[in-house]
Structure 1
Amino acid sequence: MDIVTTGIKRKREKYAVEIKSSLLWECALGIAAMTNEALVDTLDLSKQNRDLIMKSLSKDMKEELEYVRKFNTWKTLLQILHQKDLEEIASFEKYVQSLSSTELKSIAIPYLGKAQEEVKNALLKESEEALRQLQYITREHSFLPDYLEYISQVSTEELKTHLLTVMSGWFDCVIYPQKEKLEEILSRDKALKEKMLHRLEPDQFVEWATDGVKYPPEPSVHKVLLVPHYIYRPWNVEADLEGVKVFYYAVANESISGESRFVPNKLLVQRFKALGDETRLKILKMIKEKNLSLQELTIELELGKTTVHHHLKILKSARLVSQSSSEYTIDHQAIEHLPAELKLYLEDQ
């Protein structure tokens, strides 16, 4: 049936993108990374370096990290850092000390949607029914139900003392000794991203900056905040604020190395290498027209399954194709990004 359009054609929804970085974000995310038992062994940071960090910590500081591991108070640290642009550990300490009990706990509880704000306010008034409601809503989350209970019950003095001790302790032992190096890495990555920011659509930029996270616009979100980190590599960490989506993203390899501006991004090289083969170009064109399985590609190309699988592996590692179930599909945005990425590299001064 034909449709007659009588309304005004709307432009595609967009969100604004902002990039922030500081050593305090790196500090809080380092605490989060080192207390995440499920992921700590997958960090780019070697076990040897993790062991060296742990050896540098005092007995009291190790106990504070156990407290973080038990109650996930790294979340509280990140929530606090979203309230003000704090640059120094002293300003963080002063701000935390200034908060009332209600203010601190209100900040600590993450945004769960506008519909839950009234329930959150009831929780701040120590409503057990509100706690049960929010725990039910977050029941499928890995730690939020227990975290909400902890925040609702912990004394303000205990929480403040812990937050100040663990943050200052980690900063002194881990951040300060490599302060200059970390500042250079974070500022290099922020500058690199800002050069690309206005060359792509916001959702394309987020995917490029985070190395693969697809985040299309949604009505309730007007801004995406990107925060670069070094210690939590290779992982991206997400969070939600009111009207804002947050991605704490892993800095690029070239931001770490600080190599000559003539050295290209490794993923850029990988992508052009992947494209420099006739068979792989055929595969891209074939799956652009229709998603195909390994078996279907093998038949169409009249090549051995092992050979085709090898080509697909190269295309996947370059993030040009992805696999869903048994079928392969082209990543259209990755292909569209290539001219802008190449231009950024060639024009970088």
Structure 2
Amino acid sequence: MELISTGTKRRREKYKLVLKSSLLWEAALGIAAITNESLIDTLDLSKQKRELIHQSLSKSMIEELQYVQTHNTWKTILQLLHQKDFENLSSFNDYVRSLSDEQLKNISIPYLGNEQEVLRRDVLNGSASALQELQKCNNEHPFLPSYLEFITKVSCEELKSHLLEVMSGWYSAIIEPDKNKLEAILQRDIASKEKMLGSLEPEQFVEWATDGVKYLPEPSVYKVILIPHYIYRPWNVEADLEGVKVFYYAVSNESISSEDKFVPNKLLVQKYKALGDETRLRILKMIKEEPTSLQELTTELKLGKTTVHHHLKILKSARIVSQHSNKYSIDNSVLEHLPTELKIFLERD
């Protein structure tokens, strides 16, 4: 599973896991997905479905989405959604309306790490030099420098009006017609994740839930929030809050297939397929004893390098084997928890 990073890098620390889900998150991520031109063709969303979405939108709503595309205000919506657990769209809209100009700006500019917090505060206090320095610190980020400038200059009245219009318009046109279906998908996915929560270590759980994202603990990060989404599949989206890492992760295939409880998780199938071959089992036995290179495996197995590489690629895709430099090794945690994953699937209602 691919990962879109909207955050910053830190070092190691332990963290606890929190699962959340809401149609409001789905709406915000839908707005983000449909306005991301560089990724739109990679979504698990057919061209026909995208055209239907477009046809269901009013002219004014299309203009609001163009505003999102220009200024990345989907980020603002996500920042707002993290302020409290909103019951519905009305409570979210009421909250946005209640914010003072200072509060809205403070929420809209994301946490960028302790080392940049003083600059962030200075920006909020109107310092042009601090804004330039903060932009410089994040100049490799795809949209953050321009987003920071936009937030500092836009009137709060204009921003509020836009946020209310785009969330209400998207929710009405896209979420509401499929509300029951979407809610069921998200709830099924959360339920399946909750069953696995106590069976894996946090790092292993994040990798399993996100279909492959390896997230190591970092200093000052004490909590990881995992939020499922449907429309942004197959991408995971990453973000930072103060003391918190967030992964908006793609729901699993079996969570979507409500009519067929017999549909297994794609990665579970990959793992068992990877194990169902004599040569690959021999490779696993060899690298279990010690990390081994492709050349060493080729020599020992007396097979062509292309053939061995093909088997290694299958094992890597199933997350059973990892590569460090030119050596291959087993990810023991994957094999240890495979029976638990199978048990959860077989006992799923």
Both structures adopt the same fold (TM-score exceeding 0.5): yes
Q: Which residue of 1 aligns with 2:311?
A: 311
Closer, same or farther: CA 327–63 of 1 in aligned 2, 3 Å: farther
Aligned partners of 1:305, 1:142: CA distance in 2, in Å? Answer: 39
* CA displacement, residues 252-285 of structure 1 (integer Å, 9 cap, x when unaligned): 0000002444443232122112112221011123
* CA displacement, residues 105-141 of structure 1 (integer Å, 9 cap, x when unaligned): 1000110122332322221121101101211111111
Q: Which residue of 1 aligns with 2:280?
A: 280
Aligned length: 338
Aligned partners of 2:162, 2:32: CA distance in 1, in Å? Answer: 14
Aligned partners of 2:221, 2:103: CA distance in 1, in Å? Answer: 24
Could you tell me how far 1:303 is from its partner in structure 2? 1.4
Further displaced range: 256-265 or 200-209: 256-265
- What aligned pairs does 1:71-150 form with structure 2 within 5 A after superposition? 71-150=71-150
Verify the 8 A CA contact 1:226 1:246 in the aligned structure 2.
Answer: yes
* CA displacement, residues 78-126 of structure 1 (integer Å, 9 cap, x when unaligned): 0000001113111111110000111001000110122332322221121
Verify the 8 A CA contact 1:18 1:223 in the aligned structure 2.
Answer: yes
Q: Which residue of 2 aligns with 1:269?
A: 269
Aligned partners of 1:223, 1:31: CA distance in 2, in Å? Answer: 26
Further displaced range: 226-235 or 334-343: 334-343
Aligned partners of 1:210, 1:165: CA distance in 2, in Å? Answer: 31
Aligned partners of 2:247, 2:93: CA distance in 1, in Å? Answer: 24
Could you tell me how far 1:55 is from its partner in structure 2? 1.5
Could you tell me how far 1:318 is from its partner in structure 2? 1.8
Structure 1: segments with no counterpart, 5+ residues = 1-11
Aligned partners of 1:324, 1:139: CA distance in 2, in Å? Answer: 30
Aligned partners of 1:259, 1:332: CA distance in 2, in Å? Answer: 34
Report the secondary structure of 2:228's partner residue.
strand
Could you tell me how far 1:332 is from its partner in structure 2? 3.1
Aligned partners of 1:340, 1:85: CA distance in 2, in Å? Answer: 31
The one-letter amino acid paired with 1:307 is: T
Report the secondary structure of 2:91's partner residue.
helix
Report the secondary structure of 2:217's partner residue.
coil
The one-letter amino acid paired with 2:221 is: V
Report the secondary structure of 2:225's partner residue.
strand
Aligned partners of 1:115, 1:70: CA distance in 2, in Å? Answer: 28
Higher relative contact order structure (alpha carbons within 8 Å, sequence separation ≥ 6): 2
Closer, same or farther: CA 329–50 of 1 in aligned 2, 3 Å: farther
Aligned partners of 2:22, 2:173: CA distance in 1, in Å? Answer: 17
Further displaced range: 203-212 or 338-347: 338-347
Q: Which residue of 2 aligns with 1:25?
A: 25
The one-letter amino acid paired with 1:196 is: M
Could you tell me how far 1:310 is from its partner in structure 2? 3.0
Report the secondary structure of 1:238's partner residue.
strand
Aligned partners of 2:300, 2:93: CA distance in 1, in Å? Answer: 64
Aligned partners of 1:120, 1:317: CA distance in 2, in Å? Answer: 40
Could you tell me how far 1:290 is from its partner in structure 2? 4.2
Further displaced range: 266-275 or 64-73: 266-275
Verify the 8 A CA contact 1:27 1:170 in the aligned structure 2.
Answer: yes
Verify the 8 A CA contact 1:23 1:87 in the aligned structure 2.
Answer: no
Aligned partners of 2:292, 2:195: CA distance in 1, in Å? Answer: 36
Further displaced range: 290-299 or 160-169: 290-299
Could you tell me how far 1:326 is from its partner in structure 2? 5.3
Report the secondary structure of 2:173's partner residue.
helix
Report the secondary structure of 2:122's partner residue.
helix
Q: Which residue of 2 aligns with 1:178?
A: 178
- Alignment partner of 1:168 is 2:188: no
Aligned partners of 1:308, 1:116: CA distance in 2, in Å? Answer: 47
Verify the 8 A CA contact 1:24 1:87 in the aligned structure 2.
Answer: no
Aligned partners of 1:261, 1:30: CA distance in 2, in Å? Answer: 26
Verify the 8 A CA contact 1:16 1:222 in the aligned structure 2.
Answer: yes
The one-letter amino acid paired with 1:316 is: K
- Alignment partner of 1:220 is 2:220: yes
Verify the 8 A CA contact 2:211 2:267 in the aligned structure 1.
Answer: no
